[in-house]
Amino acid sequence: MSRRPVVGVSGPDRGGWVSWVFAALAVWRAGGRPLRIRPRSPRGKGGQLPAVQALVLGGGADVDPGRYGQSVAELRRELQPEKHWPGHYLLGLLLFPFIHILRKLFSLGASPGPDPARDALEERLLGHALEQGLPVLGICRGMQFINVCLGGSLHQDLASLQEERPDLRTLLPRKPVLVEPGSILHSLFGVGRVRVNALHHQAVDRLGQDLRVTAREYGGVVQALEHVGGRWLVGVQWHPEFLPHKWRQQELFRALVRAAKLNS
């Protein structure tokens, strides 16, 4: 049996437990060995980063807007939950009982403010991964952080972009996303349109250096990024770890682990 490559999964010091468990499960199912990396426990010796063969930048707190030349915006209004059809809530409980209940119990649905310690750690992690040619998967905040680290910026409030059509916020895979032909995502999914979940309130604005958009929602909001130089670097705005029963979404983790094995 081949050795499982170590896949670092970044997250905050406080909270983030539910995302970590589901991301770790996805990595393990894909053939990797997940390693949780947080600001207070990067698990390296002498201040060094831990040895990993791939990296997952997880979701969570907003990226510090100072990193892309903005101050923290005061949101003009809170994004309102989608008006569900009558059976939607019941369907959510039937399909995602553990995810739904755990997120409610641990109050992980809200987006906390910036986390400078995490930003600093993930900047080091991403820099190391790019220098060493390690495969990287960015999830939600992770995709946004990749974009910012490579010189891009973010929309701090999606509500300002969607006055006529309020943003869909749902744990269920109900938001349609269009995938660009010729992208890594398209090669993995085998289709040009997929449905994903939506838990974010920010999005990519100005694109970072050497990145290209590989998926958008119908309203034009960026839903996925990839590196243009042939690196295995993929960012998705949704949470594939919360869709363990969707083989296309889990293929993201399988492809990440395959790329890690090729580099090890």
The domain segmentation of the chain, as residue ranges, is 6-263
In 116-183, alpha helices (H): 116-132, 141-149
Whole-number pLDDT of residue 162: 52
Query: Within 13 Å and on the Cβ side, how many CA atoms surround 193?
Result: 4
Tell me which residues of the chain have a pLDDT lower than 50: 1, 74-89, 91-92, 105-111, 163-166
Residue-wise pLDDT for 148-160, tens only, equals: 999 999 998 876 5
Task: Report the C-alpha gap between 215 and 222 in whole angstroms.
Answer: 6
- Indicate the pTM of the whole model: 0.85
CB 38 within 8 A of CB 45: no
Q: Per-residue DSSP letters for 46-98?
A: GGPPP--SEEEE---SPPPGGGGT-PPP--SSPPPPP---TTHHHHHHHH-HH
pLDDT attached to residue 261 = 95
Q: Which two tokens stand for residue 37?
A: 């990396």
Tens digits of residue pLDDT in 155-195: 988 765 554 444 566 778 889 999 999 999 999 999 999 99
DSSP H or E stretch at residue 20: helix 17-29
Six-digit token pair at 23? 């991301």
H or E element that contains 259: helix 247-263
End-to-end alpha carbon distance in the chain: 15
Distance CA 234, CA 257 (A): 13
CA atoms of 255 and 175, how far apart (whole Å): 23
Q: Give the architecture (CATH level 2) of 6-263.
A: 3-Layer(aba) Sandwich (3.40)
Phi-psi region of 190 (alpha: psi -120 to 50; beta: other; left: phi over 0): left
State residue 188's pLDDT score: 97
* DSSP 8-class letter at 166: P
By annotation, the residues acting in catalysis are: 140, 239, 241
Q: What is the pLDDT of residue 94?
A: 55
What gap in Å lies between CA 127 and CA 123, rounded to an integer? 6
